[in-house]
Structure 1
């Protein structure tokens, strides 16, 4: 059986190579947990490595490697990762470092993640007030929350109070909270008590209100009759006229008669599109509108009917097409490629992960003068190692970097590049690198191996 690290015999772990190997390996998407554990013994991570570990896919074993790291920064970092195993993360509820426990409490349940059994009770009973305060924002059982309402720390007491909890507290506890010596607790209590707010004024008074914020809300309110709302068509405030122009109940003629001003950058999508944009009739109506913000708003839906996608893909407005490519999974390949090629916004490179980006035929761009298209050539699923070899020394550093990380790079060339300082970092990030080879690199780099095995 051939040793996967064969071909590395000539490598020596000088200081420069040792550092770039470590930097590259930690970014390797195929990095196994034992190698990650070795890398974590090195202490502080680079900003790039920290960002990667906070966002990359983590299985149970990799989560465990980070949770068991001797460095608290690593343990705190893993709490940010939305893919980390929640049952393994639960071990951090008893971490010896308060700041790790605080970070863990602040991330529990984020994004709708399942909460591991028993972790809420542990966090709510923590010796550190900051942890208990963070726990108070979590869906605690009523008895646990009630205990926090009597906590020795005022900030915890204030955070624990909710409308649901208040009527379930004993009268003695409620009286104590009403008379609490700390203003922040009394303020929290005051927010729970009935305030008998004044009802909104009649619609015609809201439309005439001197505060443009009130008029703006009236312009958007579907309960304000259309004819009354249209009195705001010549309002002196740009925001009021813009909000009025995006009402769902206006005819095309009524909408076009409003002298609204389209603001630069991204604008808020109207509520009716956010709530009902998945309905084909609503989507078609918005896509056919003469109001560019309605078209941009519907282009932001994750999925749209094919005829709506076709219409928006040919829109005269650049940002309608860009929004379609950024947000809609059904955006056509040709348009996604066009936006990727020519758009200069900060997120242009993320268009490569669009499900309709990679297609057979992209290899035709391997010699294109535009480096973005040469990089796109690597996304041709039918291209072979020859294309990758043509791009590993590309004059554009980004193109060369992605070619070096391409799994189609021949093993012999991959091993050779590990010994070249300029390419070693990206070669070490190549997912076809065998675990034995990764360990061999760390041996040469002088990185400790706590397990003692490969």
Structure 2
């Protein structure tokens, strides 16, 4: 057996949702180290959490520290771990893709902020999941890195704390404080832009800082197209100055001007810009964070593709705007809508999945409205292997149809069938021994625990 196949089979068993604790505990042996990452993502039974938290190997305890699925209380048990690396992993906090984790208990957060190791304290202070009041309370801390972190919660700081941070003896603290202050005070924007900032922080100041007319005109007349672009995106920049950039020679600048919130549809249409189907554009900030349903409706109705894509991101998008965008002729709008809005009609999610070409398309299968019922009747005999594979998502699929899909010449289809919980045991065992379907079959929740143990025996994992 190749190294890659061995790793894949270990991971498959680790990911099996029905694997009992005694199987999972075997995978904590050094011989199964390739599967440990799975435990940072999947849920773990309480019995296993207890073992991991008390395990003598700090690498195993780190699995719990960086777990996406463990509760804050479970992870918080490691706040006093004897190994600094475990506490550092806990302070850094896991960052699941398009997901959140439950925060650590306040007591655990305080322990990490008071940790004897400076790297742990600094990581804890920079953690976005920690209570903002605790982080703001570091404004007077003796350590510069912790004072710097307190600036993230500028609105919670007193005027006295803000003034001290703006004139802090540490360069990094002063810079962070002034970058926060400039969002409401154009004086600090000017000070920062005159201080010789590197390109990235300078662009951040231009995009988000309060802006006088004179300073905005100076940037607009400059040779740096990227700075003109971020100026146009700055909703605090004077509109009269930004309007002049509507005829900028650089397309990226004109495109940024075209999404100003003050513009009418006619004004946007008068600007020379294009948005192509494959153009990757981040959501426009003022649209993404908007809470006004009427403004979001306007964005959803806009002829401007970037505004419609950005509206699809918005947490407060009203139901009628969701419905409108679900029929949008831009695939990226529909994809973003399905990724971000839980109320999208199931048929829209299905069709978007079938049309999708991005590597994250499988996430759409977990959409709450994905229409799994009846997929076998619709797609089991379709000439398109993608559709035959999706037929295996049907919980009511007939056994004979499932068997036919398992024997499909396309490995994507057969693998999709191999993981279906209704697969008869004899077919499931056969799939475990087929190199094309073994990885999927070992993830099948109908796989008997004794078969999991036998496979771990064969893979050299101790009992």
TM superposition score normalised by structure 1: 0.75
Pairing of 1:165-244 with structure 2 (within 5 A): 178=169, 185=170, 187-188=172-173, 197=188, 202-203=212-213, 206-207=216-217, 209-211=220-222, 212=225, 215-216=228-229, 219-221=232-234, 229-244=242-257
Aligned to 1:182: none
1:38 to 20, 26, 46: 26
Distance 2:150 2:136 in 1: 12
Aligned to 2:379: 365
My pick for the range that moved more, 112-121 or 395-404, is 112-121
Query: What is the CA-CA distance between 1:407 and the residue it aligns to?
Result: 0.6
**2:117 is equivalent to residue 119 of structure 1:** no
Provide Cα deviations, 1:198-222, integer angstroms capped at 9, x if missing partner.
Answer: 6666437624632356654554455
Structure 1 residues 370 and 433 mapped into 2: Cα distance closer, same or farther (>3 Å)? Answer: same
Pairing of 1:373-452 with structure 2 (within 5 A): 373-418=387-432, 423-435=437-449, 437-439=451-453, 441-442=455-456, 447-449=461-463
RMSD: 4.1
Distance 1:244 1:143 in 2: 36
Structure 1 residues 374 and 145 mapped into 2: Cα distance closer, same or farther (>3 Å)? Answer: same
Structure 1 residues 201 and 277 mapped into 2: Cα distance closer, same or farther (>3 Å)? Answer: closer
**2:134 is equivalent to residue 134 of structure 1:** no
Query: What is the CA-CA distance between 1:425 and the residue it aligns to?
Result: 3.9
Distance 2:86 2:414 in 1: 38
Aligned to 1:81: 67
- Would you say the 8 A contact 2:345–2:369 is kept in 1? yes
Higher normalized contact order (CA 8 Å, seq sep 6+, divided by chain length): 1
Structure 1 residues 265 and 75 mapped into 2: Cα distance closer, same or farther (>3 Å)? Answer: farther
Aligned to 1:26: 14
- Would you say the 8 A contact 1:289–1:295 is kept in 2? yes
Distance 2:140 2:244 in 1: 54
Structure 1 residues 129 and 105 mapped into 2: Cα distance closer, same or farther (>3 Å)? Answer: same
Distance 2:36 2:30 in 1: 13
Query: What is the CA-CA distance between 1:340 and the residue it aligns to?
Result: 2.3
Give the greater-gyration-radius structure (CA): 1
Count of aligned pairs between the two proteins: 418
Distance 2:319 2:150 in 1: 49
Q: Secondary structure at the match of 1:322?
A: helix
Aligned to 1:335: 348
Which stretches in structure 2 are left out of the alignment for 5+ residues?
191-209
Q: Secondary structure at the match of 1:93?
A: coil
Query: What is the CA-CA distance between 1:398 and the residue it aligns to?
Result: 2.5
Query: What is the CA-CA distance between 1:28 and the residue it aligns to?
Result: 0.2
Query: What is the CA-CA distance between 1:339 and the residue it aligns to?
Result: 2.9
Pairing of 1:231-310 with structure 2 (within 5 A): 231-262=244-275, 265-276=279-290, 279=293, 281-301=294-314, 304-310=317-323
Aligned to 2:194: none
Distance 1:425 1:43 in 2: 18
Provide Cα deviations, 1:67-93, integer angstroms capped at 9, x if missing partner.
Answer: 344543333233332211322322333
Query: What is the CA-CA distance between 1:38 and the residue it aligns to?
Result: 1.4
TM superposition score normalised by structure 2: 0.74
Aligned to 2:202: none
Query: What is the CA-CA distance between 1:409 and the residue it aligns to?
Result: 0.9
Query: What is the CA-CA distance between 1:373 and the residue it aligns to?
Result: 0.6
1:52 to 38, 43, 59: 38
Structure 1 residues 395 and 301 mapped into 2: Cα distance closer, same or farther (>3 Å)? Answer: farther
2:333 to 320, 323, 326: 320
2:142 to 142, 145, 149: 149
Structure 1 residues 201 and 37 mapped into 2: Cα distance closer, same or farther (>3 Å)? Answer: closer
Which stretches in structure 1 are left out of the alignment for 5+ residues?
1-14, 179-184, 450-454
Distance 1:337 1:292 in 2: 22
Distance 1:44 1:156 in 2: 38
Distance 1:271 1:380 in 2: 39
